[in-house]
Amino acid sequence: MNMSPMKNKSKQRQQLLHHRRNTFPHDIEKARRIQQSSKEEDKDWTKVKAEEFLFLLKHS
């Protein structure tokens, strides 16, 4: 699948911000695992979303 991480950027951001307010520690750990994963199938929009989630987490 070749979904562009730029599609629905504002919608994704709203979902992430909403998710931030309802975050549990295991969600943070899951995002870190995805971010640090070197598996080829994880190098896609899921990893991008995980990195954006962690970025928002640090700066909110």
Convert the pLDDT of each residue in 11-27 to its tens digit: 777 666 665 556 666 77
Q: Which two tokens stand for residue 29?
A: 């750990």
- Per the CB < 8 A criterion, the answer to whether 56 and 22 are in contact is no
Which pLDDT score is estimated for 36?
Answer: 72
**Residue 8, Cβ neighbours under 10 Å: how many?**
12
**Residues 35, 52, 4, 30: is their CA dihedral positive or negative?**
positive
Q: Which two tokens stand for residue 40?
A: 């080829």
Which residues lie closer than 8 Å to 46 by C-beta, 6 or more apart? 34
Tens of pLDDT, residues 32-48: 777 776 565 556 667 77
